[in-house]
Structure 1
Amino acid sequence: MTPAPPSRPLFSAERSAEVVTEAFRDTPDPRLRTVLTSLVAHLHAFAKEVALTQAELDTAIDFLTRTGHACTDVRQEFQLLSDVLGMSMLVDSLDHTGPGQASATESTVLGPFHMVDSPPRDLGESISLAEGGEPTLVTGQVLGADGTPLAGALVDVWQADEKGYYDVQRPGEVPDRNLRGLFTCDEEGRFRFRTILPAAYPIPDDGPVGQLLKATARHPYRPAHIHFIVGAQGHRPLTTHVFVAGSDYLDSDAVFGVKESLVLDFDEVREPERAAPYDLPVPFRHAHVEISLRVAEAHR
């Protein structure tokens, strides 16, 4: 008896992507089918282009396995990997296009340290719960794309300290949720908080991602910045940073997150009359942040 021919072509190096993508033909979710089909096509083309060896594939699988093992409740090694490969910034850029984006504040990566909820704080309150650091005042206003102040907008902030550490990296050494705060803007969309000037810092480089950076002669540092997530009713939430002008590594951020529009001066203020309303010593640093949000309908 003659055996029946296979229902699909059998695997070969020449038609590998064709054979594998055919296996996804009946995937019910059309978006999943599109993504997997394209992923397989590019992966197979990459392997053929570089003539990937079995030893190199084994090394890659071991690297990814170790990356997974390095993840904890306060560390996301896969997020770090996405960041240092520029994938996080690319997807962020692709996701922030279309109507309304030109007049909105630019976005950037979330980063790996938004691991805990920021505590609600009153306008003007300090988010610095530990000693040390250069006193800093951040004021700002949240606006719609047409310049209308967005009353009641929520502003979530978090940052590293003067030594370049986040609170989750120093458990037991600094108070819980140090340098984090969630603020509700006033009727004019304004917000303000006291903090300290953040320092440039290295992303965690004691794991697989750090080994990758060393192997490629790259440094792990990020320039000094403060993270923001800003939201208002009827508007698309924004994840962004404010970078400290003059910081080291602005032109070589390990995760490619710097955009020129997000670099702001943190001016030194020495006038006591400007410090008194905020209960700040002199001198202190001050930065003013204007944030413009896209309307929700403008999101493609």
Structure 2
Amino acid sequence: MTVDLEWDDLRIFLAVADAGSLSGAARRLKASQPTLSRRIAEMEYGLGEPLFVRKNRGITLTKTGLKLLPAAQGMAQWATEAHRSLDAKNSPVSGRVRITAAPAFALYFLAPFAETLKRKHPQITLEVLVSTERLNLSLGEADIALRKQPSDDPDLITVDEVIVPIGAYASRDYARRLPAKYDFRDIDWITWAGAHEIMSPYPELAARIPDFRPAFMSDDYSVQVAACRAGVGAMILLKTSHRLKRPGELVELKLELPASLRAPQAIICHKRMAELPKVRTVVDLLRQEFADLRKSQGAQKLRMVTPTIPRLAKDKNGSPKHSGQRHKE
């Protein structure tokens, strides 16, 4: 039995193969899991061979699936090239640019960044794909990625890197209720839930607090932030103080956070996508944001180490009056 596989079918096949589960592919494609399951079953029926082996934890490719994978990936690259070709005929700095990022960076970095982009390049539409999973840039699932680690894929380039400072934040009312001297064990922590429980800061807090038990958990980052603002507890949040101010109702707690909780971030792009004017324009603005972050961090360090030089008293003629004591160098 033969079957004509359409690109839409192969796109679903690739999403399931890449995600390793129907639920992950459904989230990525913004479709229901039963719909994807039905479409995969129809493909398998038409081919007369199974494409996936269903297991308790996710799915894996069968021999037929492995044979189909390279051809499907090739079609994905051809589809991406076709879109680039159309983009090249449009205005050089217009169109949609898709950036994938983790929830924290999407909320506190990219959302405010969109205002700068809109003001300088109103013909570019920014689409932020918020995901805790890694979208595939080679398959055209996004144009730019903000990730914790630089890529070792030869087809991807790491454009810039920065370490964003972090802090523990809580509502003013919650902070007032804390004892005069508090540490990590005195805080009601808000963290990820469900399958995201292994994500930072849960492991770092569990390593520091015996029998760690969060006060509130959610698989939705915006819900966590809302709980923090409502006074449920505290969260580890980014400190992007160069331009993006922390909301006024949240205050930083006096805690020395472990180095493992630092927030490195890299701008990653596919080599071919980096040549598109609209993508290059967004990347350049992102690099400027990273430069501003580095500059603000350097200024903060300088303020911390620069000594305060005392003002010398002056005599009636306006000349400095010396006390006869020399300042130590």
TM-score (norm. length: structure 1): 0.25
Larger radius of gyration: 2
